[in-house]
Structure 1
């Protein structure tokens, strides 16, 4: 029998996994749409491919969360990395529309598979070492900060690499000729991301060791996943605190969708051209990820200042809602003053969401058992995606101006008000299992596995 991982080693491995997974996705943020345009796709086709990504992720969110709880964290994370490896390779080298569409679908599947296993592995490890009442917030905050930092770094690299390759005389043309048009300067970030995915898969298979699960057979997997999915969907109905976490995730999805849909248009209007607006948006996106990383890092301090995790979520989501309301109030004005206020509001949204996330997930993990932990995270992610989809529909029918921004701010404010409680949660109750014990047995203790 091997001793369980110490807390520092588990935290370091969890943070490394977060960085290696999200860095390749950050590399795609700036060049993806432009690369598809270079491949001859119309904007309507590009929008369709992005919708394929979102729908694939949403459709597979719960089944893949159940797969992680039944089959294990490591194998599902490795599968997510392999799917992203294939996706980035197809998007970087593909020239036919069907190849690019397949790439976006594979990336959606990889996104669904990755939703929860790494965090569930970390929580399982910490609770195996310190018991179910262990403090999770500090490690979750570091993981969330690492995700934001990886996205910020990837966004900068993904935007800078094609630009740097284009500086040399005819360098881009020579690159295309040498590869028969397969590799363009805009393809390089995708291929770099594919290389990082190989490192990610090898790292996961090497260090995220866990004991084999009793139901890790084809029959056990097929029997276990549906029950785990049903248990995950019932979580919110059984537990008021879990329900608030899920509804808050939906509110955050509304806020993020409003930011992501409205900011590029506002940036282009501010600069006077789409190209320069895209550059400004990339800079804003990077700044937003940095603010989210800072917010996540400050999450434990926010809890100490607020007095409890629930009050910290209330304050953090309230701050994010205030940022969106500032963006709404300045939407109809130009000039230096309103622009500076809008930038501050933009940063405040991400700062608040970053600070709220670790506290929400700390509360969630103390309410669910290991046998349904990844499923609970998948339900949370699905709630966020559904909130974003609803916001897309609403913004599509609202007139331009303050109202679309106000919708996102009102949704996030409603999510914050959910945490105005009569009584605080001082001690977590026994974790709620999300599935029948005989169908999906609890995970063996990490103490019985190799580190």
Structure 2
């Protein structure tokens, strides 16, 4: 069964929101839950390292797995891994269980990188042809993702606080469960329940054309071939190269913001506790601004005249926001607080508008057989650069310099799109030889 474009768009939006809502629910309480379980900060850092390393190690193989086995099966597997991870994190009390939960969440993150978007593009192409308009659906999917993260962050932060009101519901909950469930566990367990709905929806609402039966031998043969093809495409096609380099620029900016903003928030408010509250509010605001930016991505392309110009404008907006944040390091008092809020909003607004316009260009260059792999390569580029940037900015002295380096990265990403000609919309050939248009395209980045 081939779905029409409107139905495919609606289902893509729904599956995006259902996948990211549970992860949003875990953002606010996760570190606090670890510390309440008696974990030292060194152990907490190890848990997050397990997540990051697992994601990076599996990113490319799981992208190839989606192209070989199908989008629906890989999405369902991601949901099941997240279900297990959130359950372990919500109920676990030992370093082994908590570390395993974070590793499973990293594996789920790798599995989820690309299949839903690849399914949407494949479905639209099957119904309306390879020249079908993709930007609107990609924008709404990205907007749904960020809105789900924003809503999840708010709910996940509010639930433990609400359980502490009234006749001490939180203490009674812990007592009834012998300490297995505490108020900070509740958002994660709620997220696990949402994962059940996600898996059910992915299996029933995302039809795919029949694929040849997959044997272990075929998988072991085809997945490495698909991954290698995705890597070669990035090396020989200038448009895909811009995609990867721009993803790296976005990863550098996001790592800087996520690592340095909590400290800046504490400096601006004068206390770590109030700084944590400010950072939570900023995180929710950032997701909401990214959702707005993604929703406005088609309008941005129309106003600027093309998807490529929209990318330049959007990355420039994010760079301006980072520049405002860097200026706050030179001031004290209420002024930098308002300046920082404006800068933070601009960063995520710009990145939200960047993604759909870039991905619209990317999907016109990548064949269906390697679409999820290309998205995984893009995600890996962002993650690896973010990790390297994190090591760099934390080693630099405090002040504007770390922020200015991130500004430079975004400006460089925007400048990549200033040297282009011709059309970027021609599909990439599957042969090894790029055509002339391969040197003149646009690019794509997802900032999640």
* Corresponding residue for residue 45 of structure 2: 47
1:236 is aligned, of 234, 237, 241, to 234
Tell me the equivalent position of 1:258: 256
Mean CA deviation greater in 96-105 or 204-213: 204-213
The answer to whether 1:323 aligns with 2:321 is: yes
Which one of 124, 127, 148 corresponds to residue 126 of structure 1?
Answer: 124
Does the aligned pair in 1 maintain the 2:286–2:345 contact within 8 Å?
yes
Matches for 1:106-145 after TM superposition, within 5 Å: 106-145=104-143
Match of 2:339 in 1: 341
Conserved? CA contact 1:308–1:424, under 8 Å: no
- Work out the CA distance in 2 between the residues paired with 1:430 and 1:201: 32
- Secondary structure of the 1:293 match is helix
- Separation (CA, whole Å) in 2 of partners of 1:384 and 1:325: 21
Give the CA deviation at 1:332. 2.3
Query: Which of 237, 246, 249 is matched with 1:248 structurally?
Result: 246
What is the match of residue 427 of structure 2? Answer: 430
Whether the 8 Å CA contact 1:372–1:433 is kept in 2: the answer is no
Q: 1:216, CA displacement in angstroms?
A: 2.1
Q: Give the whole-Å Cα distance in 2 for the aligned partners of 1:56 and 1:359.
A: 29
Aligned to 2:196: 198
- Equivalences, count: 433
In the alignment, the residues of structure 2 paired with residue 434 and residue 63 of structure 1 have an alpha-carbon distance, to the nearest angstrom, of 22
Which of 147, 150, 167 is matched with 2:148 structurally?
150
Offset, 1:44: 1.1
TM-score using structure 2 length = 0.95
**Contact 1:231 1:434 (8 Å CA) reproduced:** no
**1:91: which partner in 2?**
89
Q: Quote the Cα distance in structure 2 between the aligned partners of 1:196 and 1:303.
A: 35
303, 309, 312: which one aligns with 2:310: 312
Q: For residues 385-404 of structure 1, what are the alpha-carbon distances to aligned partners after superposition, in whole Å with 9 as ceiling and x for unaligned? A: 01101111111210011111
Matches within 5 A, 1:16-415: 16-214=14-212, 216-415=214-413
1:235 is displaced (CA, Å) by 1.5
Q: How far does residue 338 in structure 1 lie from its aligned partner after superposition?
A: 2.2
Deviations 1:215-246 (A, max 9, x none): 52222111110001111111221110110011
Report the Cα offset of residue 434 of structure 1: 8.8
Secondary structure of the equivalent of 2:418? coil
- Structure 2 distance, partners of 1:183, 1:339, is 37
Residue deviations 1:172-218 (CA, integer Å, cap 9, x gap)? 11111110110000000000000000000001011111123125222
Tell me how far 1:162 sits from its aligned partner. 0.3
Separation of aligned partners in 2, 1:302 and 1:340: 26
Match of 2:6 in 1: 8
**C-alpha deviation, 1:147, in angstroms:** 0.3
What SS does the corresponding residue of 1:40 show, helix, strand or coil? coil
State the distance in 2 between where 1:253 and 1:422 align: 23
| Partner Cα separation in structure 1 for residue 403 and residue 26 of structure 2 | 26
Which structure has more RCO (C-alpha within 8 Å, separation ≥ 6)? 1
Equivalent residues of 1:87, 1:102 under 8 A apart: yes
**Cα distance in structure 2, aligned partners of 1:250 and 1:401:** 23
Consecutive aligned runs of 4 or more in structure 1 exceeding 4 Å deviation: none
Q: Is the 8 A contact 1:234 1:434 kept in 2?
A: no
Are the counterparts in 2 of residues 35 and 187 from structure 1 also a CA contact under 8 Å? yes
